[in-house]
Amino acid sequence: MALDGYTDQTLPRQARAAELLDAETELRLAYAWRDQRDEAALHRLITAYMRLAISMAAKFRRYGAPMNDLIQEASLGLMKAAEKFDPDRGVRFSTYAVWWIKASIQDYVMRNWSMVRTGSTSGQKSLFFNLKRVQAKLEREAAAAGERLDAFQLREKVAHEIGVTMAEVEMMEGRLSGSDASLNATQAADEDGREWIDALEDDSPQAAETVEAAHDAATLRGWLAQAMAALNARERYIVGQRRLLETPRTLESLGAEMGLSKERIRQLEAAAYGKLRRHLEGQSSELHHFLV
């Protein structure tokens, strides 16, 4: 790896002391890495531009992420840029690397901003990193024109400015308005206060519902067993194979097994269902509907 031997403490210091590459040297190192996989050339190229990566990482400190983590993500972006850089295009490596460094840091910030996924599309990323700045700019422009924007007008202008929908602006405002809170946090300041998780409604089945469901299931099974007993052995077998298996048998496979045609199996099945319906009439309209 191009950063082997560095620690979180020594990386910024090493970056400040790194050489400044001229265009010719930068191009030579880029060719050496691309064509010969010269790791020494890669190490020198990466080290020379760690100053740029650290500078960009510092711009994202306001999002609350540890600076060391931001630097590491910037380093990963820099290495991705070195891996994909094509010196034949005539672009300086620093110009090309800026996009990869920024993308790597932004992805890290968004992954760690909240337990809830903040956004993944380009529009949502643009909202996340530019919402506050665009809002402030629009409010300044309105104030300079002697106008005052209400919340709806401001969202509308932000959506038009960034190229997203009003709904996306509203959603991002809500997500950026507060941070995650633990359900195990107490509602009161004292340690004996009730935790927020205790206030959540229990959506699991209640005891009465469980007993009632078990009773109904047992009744349905009893009715079905009685109805199946009224069929002959061949009809019971066909119904079992066609309706009671996880993967029902086809008419063709049953016909081949029993030496009957597909149409005859269908007739026997229809006759069996007719017997079941007649037996279940007056027992339960629910089970009758289930068998239809």
Torsion over CA: 126, 132, 137, 139 (sign): positive
pLDDT above 70: residue 202: no
Q: Which residues contact 187 (CB under 8 A, 6 or more apart)?
A: 193, 194, 195, 196, 199
Q: Tell me, what's the pLDDT at 126? A: 74
pTM of the model: 0.46
> 97 near 68, Cβ under 8 Å?
no
CATH of 10-113, one of 3.40.50.720, 3.40.1280.10, 1.20.120.1810, 3.40.50.300: 1.20.120.1810
Region of residue 119 (left: phi > 0; alpha: psi -120 to 50; beta: else) = left
> 159 near 168, Cβ under 8 Å?
yes
Measured CA to CA, the distance from residue 195 to residue 90 in angstroms comes to 61
What is the mean pLDDT of the segment spanning 6-17?
A: 57
pLDDT category of residue 285 using cuts at 50, 70 and 90: low
Measured CA to CA, the distance from residue 137 to residue 248 in angstroms comes to 65
Q: Tell me, what's the pLDDT at 81? A: 94
Both tokens of 104, joined, read 């790597």
At 119-133, the pLDDT tens digits run: 556 677 777 777 778
Residue 11 has a CB neighbour count (10 Å cut-off) of 20
CATH architecture of 210-291: Orthogonal Bundle (1.10)
> 162 near 123, Cβ under 8 Å?
yes
pLDDT category of residue 4 using cuts at 50, 70 and 90: very low
Q: Which residues contact 110 (CB under 8 A, 6 or more apart)?
A: 118, 119, 120, 125, 128
Calculate Rg over the CA atoms of the chain.
34
What's the start-to-end Cα distance of the chain, in Å?
A: 67
pLDDT above 80: residue 292: no
pLDDT category of residue 32 using cuts at 50, 70 and 90: very high
Q: Which residues contact 266 (CB under 8 A, 6 or more apart)?
A: 251
Residue among 98, 93, 53, 97 nearest 75 (CA)? 53
Where is average pLDDT lowest: 53-57, 172-176, 251-255? 172-176
Task: Spell out the domain ranges in the chain.
Answer: 10-113, 122-176, 210-291
Report how far apart, in Å, the C-alpha atoms of 271 and of each of 12, 38, 234, 267, 277 are: 83, 80, 11, 6, 10
- Can 10-113 and 210-291 be said to share one CATH topology? no
Lookup result for tokens 């380093």? 75
pLDDT category of residue 2 using cuts at 50, 70 and 90: very low
Both tokens of 208, joined, read 């009465």
